[in-house]
Amino acid sequence: MRWTLKSEPSEDTVKNLAKALNVEDFVATLLVQRGIETFEEAKAFFRPTLEHLHDPYLMKDMEKAVDRIEKAIANQENILVFGDYDVDGTTAVSLVSSYLRTYYPNVATYIPDRYDEGYGISFKGIDFADDNGFSLIIALDCGIKSIDHVAYAKERNIDFIICDHHRPGQFLPEAVAVLDPKRDDCNYPYDELCGCGIGFKLIQALGKNRNQTIDDLIPYLDLVAAAIAADIVPMTGENRVLAYFGLQVINSEPRPGIKALIHQVKKQTLDITDVVFIIAPRINAAGRIKHGNHAVELLTEFDFEQAQQFASEIEAYNSERKDLDKLITKEALQQIVENQEKERFTSVVFQEDWHKGVIGIVASRLIETYYRPTLVFTKSGDRYAASARSVKGFDVYNALEACSEHLEQFGGHMYAAGMTLKEENYQLFKDAFEKEVERTIHPDMLTPEISVDAEINFVDITAKLTRILKQFEPFGPQNMTPIFLSKNVKDTGYGKPMGQEEEHLRLFVKQNNSEGIAAIGFGLGDKFDLTTNQKTFDAVYCIDENEWNGKVSLQLRLRDIK
């Protein structure tokens, strides 16, 4: 791992902010590193309010979208709410459909089958709408590149409203409305919303049209927070406000489906990390193993006992997903070892019987071992389908775009994407992708980086500092958990490896004459020898709280030691 200490911000800016907030320079430095330089910005950061949300009508085509939905309701048309099978898509579909049903009954939902239809709007889905008398489809978390699909629907007198957050292609589909802040001609002030976030802006606009206030929409924010956490969008601006209040809903009055998921794991209070690792994988497991419809059923169910039944089924899918994930990761790692005849800039693997539902997770796992832009391919019908994941700082979407002559279709973000290609183009694409990454990647990007906020001593770690750092939550991209460096640290002799394969590390550390602090390092078991026999070492870590038997104590979560 590369340890990189963040550059010191302007001393004047830090001093002015520290004075305005009556905090230490050290805390002001952490804030300036996050782009917070004034009292007003700090107030918005520490005290988010729903008033900070933008007017939804600032989004291009919002008025057209609302008018078309109101027209459908006035004419008693059937509305189909369509979305992708991942967390962002299923939460968005659950949010918009459950909102519309509060005052209009002719609303149904449709999630495409991952294996039969693939990602995004499908011809099969449009045929379903046509056969069942739907004249309006609201597509969420997909559709920005579905030019042919929207044209196909138009021929059948079906209108589309597209709510997407992926990057548009050169042309937009000819839908009634295309809501996507990443459109070049959209001046909406914040363009990092997830798909469910765009869905929320749509119901916010519909609500405004019906004289509802933002307070009427708070119950929907548990879904938005789950999507923000799962889709790894920046934890800034509107996303941070929505996640902040969404977490409050999750921890106070979540919808029965989310309550049932939390009930399964028996955890009292969830933070954003718990949403990422507890709620999101379970919602995702439905679409990965069985069908995304199961997630929508769970998230729109209002009877808690029925929701518990759905949640236990999803728990079983999640267990199956874990087993598949382990098996395929093992096979993929073996494939890389066997084929590694020379140093490569990418990891690209294929096996035709790999489960399409977990190849994205496997790609992330491979990056943990071989830190390279990674593609995991499997067979899907008569095509090869892949999930792509990237390393910090490298835009895998741009790399795919540069090789798109070999692809049937592709879409996604800087760090995650999906694609399909013809079997005969696999090797051509693989070679082109390797060349493109070699040409464009900076060598430093091939070594994982830990970005360190500041070097501190253990004496600086106080209860007051911990209280302030807790107010930096919720954490996420562009507002990550602060990471600190402390030098010349010693274990007091109580250190030991932990876990079935001794893969983790448990220490009790001191620095000079400081009091001892418990420290845990997940995946650092192989570094135990660096800590024995009173040897000093440097550590990078975040400050954490450990809850055990109802008692909360301070601990360090080690990220690396040297």
pLDDT at residue 343 in the model:
82
- The residue type of 45 is F
* Residue 167 pLDDT grade (very low, low, confident, very high; cuts 50, 70, 90): confident
| pLDDT 10s digits, 342-385 | 788 999 999 999 998 899 999 999 999 999 999 999 998 889 99
Residues constituting the chain? 562
- Judged on CB neighbours under 10 Å (0-12, 13-18, 19+), 58 is middle
Residue range(s) in the chain whose domain bears CATH number 3.90.1640.30 = 56-315
pLDDT at residue 544 in the model:
87
Q: What DSSP state is assigned to residue 525? A: G
- The residue type of 496 is K
pTM: 0.90
| pLDDT 10s digits, 268-320 | 789 999 999 999 999 999 988 889 999 999 999 999 999 999 999 999 999 99
114 pLDDT more than 90: no
Residue range(s) in the chain whose domain bears CATH number 3.10.310.30 = 340-446
Average of per-residue pLDDT across 530-556: 87
pLDDT at residue 13 in the model:
95
Return the C-alpha torsion angle 62, 190, 419, 318, nearest 10. Answer: -100
| pLDDT 10s digits, 414-463 | 888 999 999 999 999 999 999 999 999 999 999 999 999 999 999 888 88
- CATH number corresponding to 2-6+450-561: 2.40.50.460
119 pLDDT more than 90: no
pLDDT at residue 342 in the model:
75
Nearest to 345 by CA among 410, 411, 427, 440: 440
Residue range(s) in the chain whose domain bears CATH number 2.40.50.460 = 2-6+450-561
pLDDT at residue 463 in the model:
83
**367 vs 372: CA distance, rounded Å:** 6
The per-residue DSSP string of 365-432 comes to HHHHHS-S-EEEEEEETTEEEEEEE--TT--HHHHHHHTGGG-SEEEE-SSEEEEEEEGGGHHHHHHH
pLDDT at residue 435 in the model:
96
* Residue 147 pLDDT grade (very low, low, confident, very high; cuts 50, 70, 90): very high
Average of per-residue pLDDT across 463-473: 90
Token output for 437: 């990454």
Rounded to the nearest integer, the mean pLDDT of the chain is 93
| pLDDT 10s digits, 392-407 | 999 999 999 999 999 9
Instruction: Classify 56-315 by CATH class.
Output: alpha beta
* Residue 547 pLDDT grade (very low, low, confident, very high; cuts 50, 70, 90): confident
Q: Is the model more confident about 553 or about 6?
A: 6
- CATH number corresponding to 340-446: 3.10.310.30
Q: Tokens 């199961």, residue?
A: 294
341 pLDDT more than 70: no
510 pLDDT more than 90: yes
pLDDT at residue 59 in the model:
98
**276 vs 298: CA distance, rounded Å:** 18
pLDDT at residue 18 in the model:
94
Q: Is the model more confident about 262 or about 494?
A: 262
245 pLDDT more than 90: yes
| pLDDT 10s digits, 171-228 | 999 999 999 999 999 999 999 999 999 999 999 999 999 999 999 999 999 999 999 9
HEC string of 111-170 equals CCCCCCCCCCCCHHHHHHHHHCCEEEEEEECCCCCCHHHHHHHHHCCCEEEEECCCCCCC
Phi first, then psi: what are they for 496, rounded to 5°? -165, 150
